[in-house]
């Protein structure tokens, strides 16, 4: 299926493969943006899509990068292979922290159980959220490829689930901000 990408790219700015059994989270993109794992996380403890994967404990395991991976005030794409074994609650696969709130989140929506790509319109706790949801609740026990796309020129966000795009949502932010 042909597509047009209207923005410049310099390649990946972050690629964590989680393909070893150490607690050190190395960046394979060449951008030198390694991460720090916070417990409980179990690296190399399960088979992934390609090689080993890690398990995050739902009680709060996460990884933090040494710096921002994308500029959320301009076009960007984020993606991850995700497998959840429990459909309950919010499950964030990727996000990038702003001063007050995250500039985006990609994962499972707590209210609907559907896959979601969400961006707040400002860096404040009361910000309106623009969200794209999958058609159905996210499957459990299987790997799913999720991609979130922000197109600054078109003022849209979109979600791709296993390569299939959802209908883009217009992003009505009046002042862009970078997380």
Residue 80 pLDDT exceeds 60? yes
How far separated are the first and last CA of the chain, in Å rounded? Answer: 32
Answer for the pair 73, 178: CB distance below 8 angstroms, yes or no: yes
**pLDDT value at residue 119:** 94
CA angle in degrees (0–180, nearest 5) for 62-67-72:
95
| Interatomic CA distance for residues 162 and 179, integer angstroms | 26
Q: Answer whether residue 164 shows pLDDT above 70.
A: yes
Q: How far, rounded to the nearest angstrom, does the alpha carbon of residue 86 sit from its chain's CA centroid? A: 18
Taking only the tens place, the pLDDT of each residue in 31-61 is: 666 666 666 555 556 666 666 666 666 666 6
Residues 6+ apart with CB under 8 A from 12: 29, 30, 31
| Backbone torsions φ then ψ of 46, nearest 5 degrees | -155, 165
Residue bearing the bigger pLDDT, 98 or 20: 98
């Amino acid at each position: 299926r042909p597509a047009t990408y209207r923005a410049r790219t310099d390649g990946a700015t972050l690629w964590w493969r989680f393909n070893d059994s150490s607690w050190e989270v190395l960046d394979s993109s060449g951008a030198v943006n390694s991460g720090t794992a916070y417990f409980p996380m179990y690296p190399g403890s399960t088979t992934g899509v390609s090689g080993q994967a890690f398990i995050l404990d739902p009680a709060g395991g996460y990884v933090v990068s040494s710096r921002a991976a994308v500029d959320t005030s301009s076009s960007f794409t984020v993606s991850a292979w995700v497998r959840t074994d429990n459909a309950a609650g919010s499950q964030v696969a990727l996000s990038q922290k702003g001063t007050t709130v995250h500039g985006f989140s990609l994962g499972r929506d707590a209210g609907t159980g559907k896959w979601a790509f969400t961006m707040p319109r400002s860096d404040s706790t009361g910000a309106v959220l623009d969200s794209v949801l999958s058609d159905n609740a996210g499957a459990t026990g299987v790997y799913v490829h999720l991609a979130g796309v922000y197109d600054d020129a078109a003022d849209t966000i979109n979600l791709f689930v296993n390569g299939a795009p959802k209908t883009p949502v217009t992003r009505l932010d009046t002042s862009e901000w970078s997380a």
